Structures are given as structure tokens and as C-alpha cells.
Amino acid sequence: MNPCGTVFLDRDGVINMDSSDYIKCWAEFFFIPGSLDAIARLTRNGYAVIVITNQSAVNRRMITLPELETIHRRLCRSACKSGGRITDIFFCPHRPDENCACRKPKPGMILAARKRYGIDLAGAVMVGDSVKDILAGQAAGCGRTVLVKTGNGMSAVHSLEEIGRPPDHVAADLDRAVGWILDLHA
């Protein structure tokens, strides 16, 4: 796909502030400081950026698909205005009880992205703030996983160590995660 590879990003808690009430409209969407600049740095350095996000608020009937698509269009426009590019956004609309193949920690969305874009997952990085993000990246065969401490990241560090599935790196936020990713190929 891109010469440097692909970086998969979780959305809530990595790019924008998470909410226990779900993000249901653009007015509830607040960027984590530095996240747009981090996406721009990945773009400038030749990485494809793909967002991989669970959005069960859709099947919980808290948000409609058109409302979610509006949020994602505005996210992509904001990234572009900051010099970045989001290649695609894959989302799972299912509730946990629906037991689909795409809801993280299952790797379905990452595998769908691989199929659509011909991604070499061994060279890909999954960045997330939760146990399910890291497990999805590992299950899909991503070469590296990075846990950020924004969102749910602080509690996830301990949980991943307890189950013997630690990420390859832990970073304070997306900006520092991108610094680590860029250093890998420096």
C-alpha cells in the first residue's frame, strides 16, 4: 500500500476524547491534544492511516449511520486541514452480545482493511487505548502494537501484562506513539 506501511488507529481515546455516554454527534467529539499533528506526521512520513473503531452506539440506536458518517467525514476533513490523511475508517456497529467477527478484540476490521488495500500486516502497527485494541492487532498479525495511556490505556497496561499479552510499546499519547513508530525506521 504505502512504502512505509500502515498504522491502524483506534478512534475514541486515541484520536478524540472517549465518553462513557458514547460519541453521538460532532458536538461531543473533542480531539486529544496533538492527535491531528500526529496523523499529519504519519502522512508526511509515508504511512497510510486507517481508523479501526467499535461503534456499538449504532446498534444500540443511540446514533444513526448517517450521523456516524458525518462524524467520520468531519474527522477526515480535520485531519486533512492539519496536513494528514486518513485512508479509510472501518467501524463495527454491533453490540458485544451480537458476537460478530468485526468487533474488537476480534481482528475482522483489520483483516477487511488488509483485503481491501493489500496491506502487509507484518509491517503494520495497531495503536489503541484498550485491551481489545491490542488483542485485535495481535490476532490480526500486526507486526507491532502500541498502547496509549489516553482513554482507557492506564487500566489496560496492567490487564495486558496479567494475561501475558503486553503491547510492544506503551506511550503517553498518540503523538508520542507516532514518535516511537517513526524512530523504528529512522
What is the C-alpha to C-alpha distance for residues 148 and 93, in angstroms, rounded to an integer? 23
How far is 134 from 127, CA to CA, in rounded Å? 7
Tens digit of each residue's pLDDT (9 = 90 or more) over 66-90: 999 999 999 999 999 999 999 999 9
21 is annotated as an active-site residue: no
Q: Which structural domains are found in the chain, ordered by start?
A: 5-184 (3.40.50.1000)
Catalytic one among 10, 18, 173, 175?
Answer: 10
The span from the CA of 74 to the CA of 77, in Å, is: 5
pTM of the model: 0.96
How confident is the model over 146-178, as pLDDT tens digits?
999 997 777 899 899 999 999 999 999 999 999
Candidate from 2-11, 69-78, 121-130 with smallest mean pLDDT:
2-11
Would you call 12 a catalytic residue per the annotation?
yes
111 vs 74: CA distance, rounded Å: 25
